[in-house]
Each structure stands twice: as structure tokens, then as C-alpha cells.
Structure 1
Amino acid sequence: MRILLTLASLLVATQLLAADEPSVPPNIVVILVDDMGYGDPACFNAGSKIKTPHINALASAGMRFTDAHAPGPLCHMSRYGLLTGRYPFRTNVNLWRKQPLIEPQQMTIASLAKTQGYRTAMVGKWHLGFRESGYDQPLPGGPVDCGFDSFFGIRASTDIPPYFYIRNDRAVEPPTNQIEANRSEGWSPIQGAFWRAGGIAPDLKLDDVLPRFTNEAIDVIETHAAKSAKEDENKPLMLYLAYPAPHTPWLPSEPYVGKSAVGMYGDFVMMVDDQIGRVLSALRKANMHDNTLVVFTSDNGPVWYEADVARLKHDSAGTLRGMKADAWEAGHRMPFIVRWPNRVKPGGRSDQLVCFTDLLATFAEIMGVTLPADAGPDSFSFLPSLTGQPGAATNKRKQIVMQPGSRSMMTIRSGDWKLITGLGSGGFSKPNRVKPTADGPRGQLYNL
């Protein structure tokens, strides 16, 4: 009996010592997809008609957040908040075509990570502007000037010209060719295989962009693992992978065509899910799975109309009202998953109110860093809820403030209440804006 008690005491002491030891900083991989609705992944909508096995597996191995929100219901708004911890209404995000939205020296999740010895990389869609003086010239103000050691990606969406790849701060090939506009019969003008006319680089094919980004992300992971095998290169990795899909153009490759019951959109979502699966598999093959925190989410709501729900029997918004760009819930409530082996309990679910802006403060707490006073003013760590730490309930975010796509009204979420300071959707859903009557309401108030 004494031997058993001694062994038990040693085991407890060992566990306590291990708990007191500083943990190895985790690798961090943020996977941001584009225009995927809350109701598309089956792990958030049991009625989804689209198979998303890799996203579902990520949820089973981590924690689902059911009340997570983009800081704005459009691509550039969402990305600005995610990287900086600032609400996008704090700057003029509409200037992204002319100038960088992130100010020099402004802290981002990448620049934070670099201060803590991380190797940082971005692959995918930027959409936060460059200082452009010709596509045969350097493109300052982009990812490599915002904390990322390397960048391979595109300027904006794959339906917004010019279309060309960027490596770090230079066009791989300038957009010297031209491509005609395209759209698909049977869909609205901003659905299907839709893209705008404009310049395109000779080496870029729109239907190759998605797998190309996956290959680049896998290369980042494999290169990092090889460097980490050297004792003097043992750094953690932060990878921000911003897929420009399932945003238009919907371009599923041949193996996915006709595989879903939701037309070309569902086929494309299945392709996106498979690309995510390839990246997660690469982490495991590189022996990085166990010490990598993975965040998965979508930048804003889907372009999915009531007519699409009626015709295809699939609700991309998951019964939420509205769509992309709207002040209504479907515009900004997003599927949000965090997997962190041995730290986050598998199969967990949280109804905590969180916003993409919270990643900066959460990552800072994970790294043991106190943010400067001028960094991430709209960022609140959700680490206590993520890991089940005592006192998590007292640390919860209570409010979110944002603008819809039209930027003509504000949305304020406080507890279970949501105020929209105007009438209409404020976005793509009709009516966009309704003029109030003399004696009628001037806004919308909902108890969620």
C-alpha cells in the first residue's frame, strides 16, 4: 500500500511540475475561407446537403463556437479586423483599391508572432490594399510589410481584376493579357462562374488558383518542418491561409463536378473542404499536428438567395436571416472552429460571443505577451473559455459593434440584444435600405 501511495504521490508531483513548466509555443494555422455560410458545414447545420468531412473532423477534434462573428460582412472588412484586432469602421476600408488599409507599424497577429520568434507566412487572398505604381514595380504595404516573412497570393478576389500572383511584394508575372467577363446561366449575376473582364497574368488560370494555394501552404509547412529539424532553427510557425473560395467564380475541378446535391456551389464547397483536408494532412505528416493550434472560419456570409433555398433545398445561411454584406445575422455570424490537441477538449461547443478581432488578444495570451496600449483596441482574449480555465465566464466579450456592407448604418450587439441603426438589410438582401416614416421606427431591435 505504501508503495502504491508513493507512486501516486510521485505521479501527482510530476503532473504539477509539468503544469508549472512553460509550454512550448504552439504553431498557429488560421484557415479563412471566403463566402461560406454558417449552414454549409454539416457540423453547424445537420440539414446541410453538402459533404464537408474535413471541416466536420476538425470540429470533432476541437471546439465549435456558435456565436462567432466577422467584424464586418464583406471580405476586406473581415480581413482587416482579423489581422489587426480593430473594428473596420475605424478606418476607410473602401480605400483598399488605392492604398494599404493597415498603417505602418500597426500591430497584426503576424507582427505579434514575429516578436515572439515565430516564422510567419501568408498564402492566399490579401484584399487589404497595396501602394500600386505599376505591376512591374514593387507592391509595398502588403503582407510582408505587415509582419509576414513571406507571401504568395493574389491582390483580391478571383472575380476582381487584375488577376495575377504575387510573391512577397512583386508580381510573379504582370497582368499583361486580357480576359473577358463571364457568368453562368441559371444563377444571379454574382453567382456561378462569374468574373469580371480585365487584365490577367499569363501564368494564372482562375480554375487553378485554389489548388495552387494549397500546394503553396503545404510547401510552407514542409519547409518549416525541415528547418525545425535543425537545432538552431527550432521556431514555431504562424501560417495564415486565406482561400478565395467558395467566393465566385465557382470553379469546381472535374472530380467534384456533380458530386453535391447543391449544384456548382455545393461542388465547389466540397472542393474547398478537400483542400483543407490536404493542409491538415500535411501538418500530421510533418509531425506538427500535436503542437498546432488551428483556427477555421469564413470571412462573411454566403451569396445565397431564398430562391436558391427553395430550388436546391439547401440553406447556406443555416436558417439565419440574410446573406453576405447584410447587417442581419447571416451576413456576419460565421462557422468558427478551434482545434488545439491536448489543450482544447475534443467535441466541445461554446456559445460565447466572439469576434475575429479577438484573435490578436487570444494569441497574445497564448504567447504570454501583454499587448501595447495602442494595439488591438477591439480584441478580447477568449483563451479561458477555449481551454476551460477558471473564471472564463467573467472574461467573456459582451458587445460587438460593426457596419454592414453599405456602411450607412451601425450594428450593435449587446448580450442577447441586437440593434441596427436603420431599416433594411444594409447589404445585398432586399430591401437594402428603407426610409423611415414620420411616426415609425428608425431602426431595428432584436432579442436573439
Structure 2
Amino acid sequence: MRYLVLTTLIVLGVGKTVQSKSLRVAAEPLPNIVLIMADDLGYGDIKCYNRDSKIPTPHIDRLASQGTRFTDAHSPAAVCVPTRYGLLTGRFPFRMQRRGNGPLLAPNRMTIGSLLSAHDYRTACIGKWHLGFENEKSPEDNQPLRGGPVDRGFSSFFGIPASLDIPPYYYINGDRCLAPPLLRTAASRSPDWSPIQGAFWRAGGIAPGFKHAEVTPRLLAKVVGFLDDHHLKQRRQPFFLYLALPSPHTPWLPVHRFQGKSNAGAYGDFVVQVDDVVGQVMKALQRNEWEQNTLVFFTSDNGPVWYPSDTRKYDHDATGGLRGMKGDAWEGGHRMPFIARWPTRVAAGRKSTQMICHTDVLATLADLLGVDLPTNAGEDSLSFLSELTTAETQGHSRAALIHQSSARVLSVRNGPWKLIPQLGSGGFTKPRRVKPQPGDPQGQLYNLHTDLAETTNVYKQHPDIVRRLTLIVDDFRERGRSRP
């Protein structure tokens, strides 16, 4: 049996140290951890978040009924790449230093994977990486793709380099491509959807035999295989599984048995398939007798690509009444479903209204292990473990949150107040940016406690709040951190 034990100093494989702190329960078994991140799934797609959803999601709903459902959880950004950076590093993505087309995670940067690996977890990443590899665009047979998951704290990786609409298209196992993308595929479109919806993917390189519709089923098979293999060979060692689904991101390609299972077109059917993946993962945990002592997180990386015309056509609101969509600074771009299930510690059927961010997962897991993060890691990560493991709201310590839109507009949240320092969506919804006319407000200020749909801009009525929130952004930038 594996246990949380008190040690003095633990050295991470990425050159970091974390200081142990006193544990709440002596010799408490370490849980397995499964983190499932859907791709472009909206707050309103899931029934337990939106009773009017036209998409059946029984497995995700069951997960929520058996755990805690957060209603004020946020991705740190409204698009794929920066959200993944924030999740794994515990840092707001505006701090990320881009390195061209190469790896976005610095070699010495602590990640969730490296933290857990240092505590004897077997760490697996399966799915969409989207944080860069060296030579990602032109991989070669038997040549390592450096800078990916196995170089950033994960014991193993199987998946794809980026989204399934971004070429080249090929699989990676560990740090090697299974087959290089020597062929070329034409672009794909769906005439009944917008140019970036439906069966959309871009033209480019593709590996022989690579089929877009087979990716999600193949990843699920790898997950089940990992769990079964771990049970047979390493069941006494705790594991961390990061399942980064490429769905329901475009191309929307539900396999045959899910087609027509929703009332929201191909997108809704693809969400049904994602829900089934969650169900299959839970079945594998149950079959291997891990259901009780496994902490399962389910969330999404950003909002959906779902236009008002789609809502009218299908009578389905993928953002559940929130304004905006993927890419936007408005809530529809970054307020995410977030569910945590751990039967031995997390109350079942509970709703939490505490504000949390994906960046907080790193500190939460460090707290679970009983260690303090070093000052140069998880700079924007605050633990919500006490909110998970107590039956009543504890008053989570996150007072402010910065969010980044696809156009890199930084909005800030403090209590009920949210400031967007410009007019327009800052993202996919048109207009992205509006030039203020004489007498117009220079930005947007909303009281989310009374106006969650962000319909009434009170920027001009509260100049003191605008100044206060602006100073929060300046402070977080200058200090290089938001964590005390």
C-alpha cells in the first residue's frame, strides 16, 4: 500500500525543491489522480450545468452527482495553448515566453507531471499536447521529438502534437513519431457549418493510415490499456493520468454509434462521444478496484465555437446563457465546467461557488501531498484542497484572477467585479475590438453577481473600481506572481 509520509526535502527531477509540511492525516493512502480535459466544450453543453442542454451527458452528470461541481471555475485563457500552459505550470499564460514553434515549457519549469513524479507517481499523458516539440513540423523516423511530455515530467506519452485541424497529422509515442507525415491531405469543410466548424481541418502533411475520426477512440483504448496494465504490473504505485482529449474540438467527427444521439447536430453528437469516454474511464477504474481512492477531475480548456445562429437553429445554448464563445474575454470564453470526484474525501452531490482557476490544480496537488511549492514555481497557483475535502464552503483564498483572450486581452476578476480593458469581445465574436467614441467608456466593467450574462457595462459609473482592478493587473505583472 502506498501512503503519504512525512519527509524533510524532496528534490524534483527538473531542478526544483519542495519543502514538506505537516500532513492532515498520518499515513494516509496516496490517491490515484485522473485529470480529463475536454477541448472546446461549453459550460452549457453538460446537463448538470444546463438543464436545457440538448445533449445527453449521463456519465459526466453522474460524476458530478458523486462529487463536487464548481460553478465559478475558469480557464486561464480562452484558447487551447495558453490554457494548457497555465494548467500544467500553475502560471498565468501571459507570463509564457514563446520560443517560435518549439517547446513552450522551459526545461527547468515545474509541471504537475514533475511534481507528482517526484512523489513516486507513475505519470502518463495521453491525448493532445499542444505545447510544442522540437522539429514538430518535420518529424523523422527514429529521431526524438524533444521538449514534449516525457521531457517535462511525464513517464509516458501517447497522442498527437496539436489540434486535429492543425497539420501535420501524426501520432507520437514517448518522444518518437509512429509514422512521419509524408503524405498530404486536402482541407476538409462542412457546407452546413461555418468555415471553422463541422468536419473542418486544414490541408497539410499526414501520416500514412492516419484517420481523424479514429483519434478519440484510439486515445480511449490507450487510456484503458494504461489502466489495465498498471493494475497488472504496478498496482501498488499511485498513478497520475492526464487525458487531454482533442474532442469536441473540430473536426466534429462522431463515430457511427453516436451519430444522431443529440439534438445539437454533429457537435452535440461529438459531445455525447466525449461523455462516453468519461464513462469508459470510470468503468476501467471500477474494474481495477480504483474507483474509491482515485481523485478524478473533469473540465474543459475553453468555451465552444458556437454562434448565436447555432443556438437559434438547435435551441441549444452551448455556453448556458453566458456571453461570448471560445476566444472571448466574456464569460462564455473561459467559465468552465469543473468537477472533482473522490469518494473517500470529496462530498457527493455538492455545488461549490468558490472562484478557482486551472492554474490552481498544481498547488492543490502539492497541498494534497503535504508540500510547499518553491517560490519559482506555480506563481499563480492557489490550493483549493480545503474546498474539496470539507462539506461546507471554506472561503477559497483566490481573491483575483487574470484571464487572457485569444487576442491577448487581459481581463481581471476581483470579487463580483470583472474588468475588460477595451470594448469588444477580444476574441472570436465580432467585433473583436471597438474604438471608443467621444463619451464612450474606455473598457467594460461588469458585476457578475447581478449580471452574469454581462449585459450592462458599468465602467463609467465606478471609476474607483476600474482603478483598483487595473492596479491588480499591474501588481501581478510587476511582482511576477499572484501567489503570496
- The TM-score with structure 2 as length reference comes to 0.85
2:50 equivalent in structure 1: 45
Equivalent of residue 150 in structure 1, options 141, 149, 156: 156
Q: SS of 2:159's equivalent?
A: strand
Distance 2:25 2:306 in 1: 50
Report the AA paired with residue 428 of structure 2: F
Determine if the alignment matches structure 1 residue 127 to structure 2 residue 133: no
Match of 1:185 among 184, 188, 191: 191
Give how far 1:271 is off.
0.9
SS in 1 for 2:355: strand
- 3-state SS of the aligned residue for 1:351? strand
Alignment counterpart, residue 116 of structure 1, candidates 112, 115, 119: 119
Report the CA distance between 1:220 and its aligned residue.
1.1
Question: Does 2:229 match 1:223?
Answer: yes
Q: Quick one: percent identity of the two aligned structures?
A: 55
Displacement of 1:396 = 2.6
Query: 1:444 corresponds to which residue?
Result: 444
Contact 2:75–2:357 (8 Å) recurs in 1: yes
- Letter of the aligned partner of 2:422 in structure 1? G
Mapped partners of 1:371, 1:399: distance in 2:
20
| Equivalence map 1:15-54=2 (5 Å) | 20-54=25-59
Structure-1 residue corresponding to 2:399: 398
2:302 aligned partner:
300
Name stretches of at least 5 consecutive residues in structure 1 with no aligned partner: 1-18
Instruction: Check conservation: 1:352, 1:396, Cα contact below 8 A.
Output: no
SS of residue matched to 1:290: coil
SS of structure 1 residue aligned to 2:311: helix
User: Which 10-residue stretch deviates more, 435-444 or 70-79?
Assistant: 435-444
2:306 alignment partner, SS class: coil
User: For residues 199-348 of structure 1, what are the structure 2 equivalents within 5 Å?
Assistant: 199-229=205-235, 234-348=236-350
Task: Give the Å deviation of 1:389.
Answer: 7.3
Q: How many residues align?
A: 422
Q: Deviations for 1:330-380, whole angstroms, at most 9, x for unmatched residues? A: 000000000001101100110000000000000001111111111100000
What residue in structure 2 maps to residue 100 of structure 1?
Answer: 103
Alpha-carbon separation, structure 1, partners of 2:49 and 2:105: 32
State how far apart, in whole Å, the 2-side matches of 1:115 and 1:92 are.
25
**Structure 2 CA distance, aligned partners of 1:30 and 1:258?**
28
Determine helix, strand or coil for the equivalent of 1:445. Answer: strand
CA distance in 2, matches of 1:65, 1:391: 11
Change (3 A) 1:106 1:126: same
Shift in Å, 1:391: 8.6
Q: Which runs of 5+ in 2 are unaligned?
A: 1-23, 449-484
Q: CA deviation at 1:279?
A: 1.0
* Letter of the structure 2 residue corresponding to residue 116 of structure 1: H
- Output the CA distance in 2 between the equivalents of 1:225 and 1:436: 60
Cα deviation for residue 75 of structure 1 reads 0.3
Superposed displacement of residue 430, structure 1:
1.0
Deviation string 1:409-437 (CA, Å, 9 cap, x unpaired) is: 21000000000011100000011100122
Q: Could you tell me how far 1:198 is from its partner in structure 2?
A: 0.6
What is the CA-CA distance between 1:398 and the residue it aligns to?
1.0
CA distance in 2, matches of 1:357, 1:61: 24
- Post-superposition offset of 1:438: 3.7
1:64 aligns with 2:69: yes
Partner of 2:434: 434
**Which residue of the partner structure matches residue 7 of structure 2?**
none
Per the alignment, in what secondary structure is the counterpart of residue 289 of structure 1?
A: coil
Q: Which amino acid aligns with 2:209?
A: D
Give me the whole-angstrom Cα distance separating, in 2, the residues matched to 1:429 and 1:92.
27
2:80 counterpart of 1:79: no
Q: Secondary structure in 1 aligned to 2:105?
A: coil
1:439 partner letter = G
Cα pair 2:354 2:393 within 8 Å, conserved = no
Q: Matched residue of 2:29: which SS?
A: coil
* One-letter amino acid of the counterpart of residue 433, structure 1: R
SS in 1 for 2:354: strand
In 1, Cα distance between equivalents of 2:264 and 2:301: 21
Alpha-carbon spacing, 1:101–1:20, altered in 2? closer, same or farther (3 Å): closer
What amino acid does structure 2 have at the position aligned with 1:404? S
- Partner amino acid, structure 2, of 1:396: S
Q: C-alpha separation between the residues in 1 aligned to 2:333 and 2:406?
A: 9
Question: Aligned equivalents of 1:228 and 1:287: distance in 2?
Answer: 14
Query: Is the CA contact (8 Å cut-off) linking 1:384 and 1:390 kept in structure 2?
Result: no
- What letter corresponds to residue 428 of structure 1 in structure 2? F
Question: Going by fraction, where is helix more abundant, 1 or 2?
Answer: 1
* Cα distance, 1:390 vs structure 2: 8.3
**1:185 CA drift (Å):** 1.3
Aligned-pair Cα RMSD in Å: 1.3
Q: Which amino acid is the alignment partner of residue 127 of structure 2? A: G
Contact kept in structure 2, 1:173 and 1:203, CA below 8 Å: no
Residues 136-164 of structure 1 deviation map (CA, whole Å, 9 limit, x = unaligned): 13110000011000000101000100000
**Once the 2 structures are TM-superposed, how far is the Cα of residue 203 of structure 1 from its aligned partner?**
3.2
Q: Which residue of 1 aligns with 2:389?
A: 387
